Amino acid sequence: MDITPLIAADRQIIQSYNAQGFKVSGQRFAGNVCVFVDQTCPWEFAGTLADLTPRAFSDFDISGDALDVVLLGTGGQMGFAPNEVKAFFKSKGVILESMDTGAACRTYNVLMTEGRRIATFLMTDKL
C-alpha cells in the first residue's frame, strides 16, 4: 500500500539540505532560502542568528492574513530568534517557531501536507 501523501504539483516540498543549500521541489538553492507553500526563493540574509532583525523579512508578506506559522531554521544547532524578531512576528499575528534547520525542514513538510498556511526561513551557516 502506498502511503505517500498526495501533494499538489504547485506545492513546495523540501527534499534535501546540506551545508551548501537546499533542494526544493526538484530545484537546488545555494545558501539560505525561504520556502512558502507556493514558492521558494533565496533568502538574502547573510548574518548569524544574533544579527537577525525584522529587516531580514521585509521582502516577504509576513502577516496573519497570509500565514499562521513561520518556522525559523537556525542552522545545525538550535537557537532562538532575537527578542526584536519575536516581537515583530507577534505584532503581525504570526507564530514564530525556532528550531534547527533539519527539524524546520521536516516540520514544514508535515504542516504543508496538512494544508497549513506556513513558511520557513532556513539558514545554512551552522550546518
Strands 118-122 and 33-36, how do they pair? antiparallel
C-alpha to C-alpha distance for 105 and 9, rounded to whole angstroms:
18
Please state the rounded mean pLDDT for residues 89-101. 96
CA distance readout (Å), 105 to 67, 84, 116: 17, 24, 14
Task: Enumerate residues 6+ apart whose C-beta is below 8 A from 103.
Answer: 73, 78
Q: Answer yes or no: is pLDDT of 61 > 90.
A: no
Alpha helices in 1-127 (DSSP H): 83-92, 101-113
Q: Answer yes or no: is pLDDT of 127 > 50.
A: no
Q: Where are the domains of the chain?
A: 22-122
Q: What is the mean pLDDT of the chain?
A: 91
More confident residue, 101 or 20: 101
CATH class of 22-122: alpha beta
